[in-house]
Structure 1
């Protein structure tokens, strides 16, 4: 329950901040009349995420066992890619997302025709990205944690993120967003490592991965995966009571690489731009 709650709290807060930036900028620039277009974009994005999630869930219910294992492995791998890219993208874009959104709003509303559609599209794609990320993550988590706890945790995270987003927009709550996204980013990468190891096991059970299957340790008698503590550790860290060599290797390798990329200092945008300009000048001079 805690894992989907924290993930959806982060995803929901990202979406809420995007909507808050758009709504606040429209209000400050005297263009609040365009807010219905914002709500239409949000509605369409949520509808798309629900449609995709329901479609994948219904389709997977009809699969035979081997195909079901392959589907769960594919969903887990997609979730790992999506979560990793989201965390690394937010690390780079956090400082400039407000200015880029405001510039996109100005561009969307500057034309004489189709301004409403342009604004709907802007909000739709911004929110749909968060929604589709959430769909693949939740599918992977729900497959590993059947029952009502995971969906309830996800709903709780969405509800709290909506309240926090509104409170931030109204100015009643101030969060250290840099610290929030940093710690939740680390947590998400740990969860993604567990999903990656679990996907490798699903590939083995589907008959597609049969190497590095030696059991590293067997804690089934001491700390079983289906016990109370084991269930919590499995949900938080991808704990397995009998990990295979390949599963442990991909867990450690992924976590080492992902945390290194995530925790390294972010170069100031001006320095990156200057480096790119210098590289372009040098390339032109050598021609």
Structure 2
């Protein structure tokens, strides 16, 4: 990556560059440095800071996002310098915490467990729901398409991480743009699949679907679409998850690393159990209800992916972020910024309209 120094030291250096560039009236370069201060430094250790002081982590994150907005809005040099002084003060506190403490075994376990659970939950829900769909429609032969997607994503994620430390510099902005674009693409595919499943749950369309036979309905093109969806769902998180684990590993002693491995294995087990439960109980639903429930799940995940995609593009600095007074629920992709909330609201309105039209025409 960009830096071989302490991640937070790198952040402070980039913030100093922000002031220099801003004094020279180079707002574009100042903004670029502010983005790098976050993505190439702070973000890589924010989960470690969160394990010790969640309020401090959130305070730094909000302040660094606010700094970028003020640069965009041509704030005075004095305001920029005051904001950076505040951020540096908080970064020093965080640096002292990370330097004086190694993660306890319990914290290392919890960090490793929740990193994978948080990053992998959405991907698991999508892959398990798609697999259940194929099983429920007697198309088990199509499961290989799902497996091709998620296995390829894991392999490419590991290769991307290896390439980033051995061959090329992959910037934080590139990571976030990749994740953001993948999330937006996944949103569109999820909406398509969700509406398709809902369409098949209506009585008239259901009879036609049965009459046409499932084998004809699920063409090779449709199956490869499912491959693409399972690939995107897993790959968008795979690379960044490895980076988080790398930072967590560096912050723990030998005993803590053992606990971190235990946390990772426990998260894998938890996700496996959840996937098994989805497969076991969802396929017991009557087929029309299965389509309705699975279609609703796809739409729900599309809303989450949309929020997270917008947030990732904002972190990369390619979209503006307008803070609003609203709740923040990371797990659901809900963030207190106007752009993400408007996109999610728009999708909800669109879904309600289309859902009602399809229901009335049933």
Q: What's the TM-score bracket when you normalise by the shorter of the two chains?
A: 0.5 to 0.7
Report the CA distance shift for 1:59/1:165 in structure 2 as closer, same or farther (over 3 A).
same
Q: Is the CA contact 2:149–2:230 (under 8 Å) kept in the aligned structure 1?
A: no
TM-score by length of 1: 0.53
Over residues 8-52 of structure 1, what are the superposed CA-to-partner deviations in whole Å (9 max), with x where a residue is unaligned?
A: 4343333333332322332xxxxxxx74x3343344333322232
1:12 aligned counterpart, secondary structure: helix
Which residue of the partner structure matches residue 78 of structure 1? 181
Q: Is the CA contact 1:10–1:161 (under 8 Å) kept in the aligned structure 2?
A: no
Separation in 1, partners of 2:200, 2:240: 28
Which residue of the partner structure matches residue 348 of structure 2? 263
Which residue of the partner structure matches residue 199 of structure 1? 316
- Unmatched 5+ stretches in structure 2: 1-112, 249-259
Does 2:219 align with 1:133?
Answer: no
Which residue of the partner structure matches residue 160 of structure 1? 274
Report the CA distance shift for 1:164/1:182 in structure 2 as closer, same or farther (over 3 A).
same
Report the CA distance shift for 1:7/1:186 in structure 2 as closer, same or farther (over 3 A).
farther
Q: Is the CA contact 2:173–2:315 (under 8 Å) kept in the aligned structure 1?
A: no
Separation in 2, partners of 1:134, 1:104: 31
If asked which structure has higher relative contact order (CA below 8 Å, sep 6+), I would say: 1
Which residue of the partner structure matches residue 51 of structure 1? 155
2:337 aligned counterpart, secondary structure: helix
Q: 1:106 aligns with which of 215, 227, 231?
A: 215
Report the CA distance shift for 1:12/1:196 in structure 2 as closer, same or farther (over 3 A).
same
Separation in 2, partners of 1:24, 1:156: 23
Q: Is the CA contact 1:82–1:133 (under 8 Å) kept in the aligned structure 2?
A: no
Q: 1:13 aligns with which of 122, 125, 135?
A: 125
Report the CA distance shift for 1:261/1:141 in structure 2 as closer, same or farther (over 3 A).
farther
Over residues 169-222 of structure 1, what are the superposed CA-to-partner deviations in whole Å (9 max), with x where a residue is unaligned?
A: 1459x996576556555444443343223222xx8xxxxx9xx99xx9xxxxxx
Report the CA distance shift for 1:76/1:42 in structure 2 as closer, same or farther (over 3 A).
closer
Q: Is the CA contact 1:92–1:266 (under 8 Å) kept in the aligned structure 2?
A: no
Q: 2:136 aligns with which of 24, 32, 46?
A: 24
Q: Is the CA contact 1:9–1:160 (under 8 Å) kept in the aligned structure 2?
A: no
Separation in 2, partners of 1:10, 1:77: 15
Structure label with greater radius of gyration: 2
- Unmatched 5+ stretches in structure 1: 27-33, 110-117, 204-208, 217-232, 240-247, 275-287
Q: Is the CA contact 2:157–2:235 (under 8 Å) kept in the aligned structure 1?
A: yes
Report the CA distance shift for 1:93/1:40 in structure 2 as closer, same or farther (over 3 A).
closer
Separation in 2, partners of 1:45, 1:125: 10
Q: Is the CA contact 2:123–2:230 (under 8 Å) kept in the aligned structure 1?
A: yes
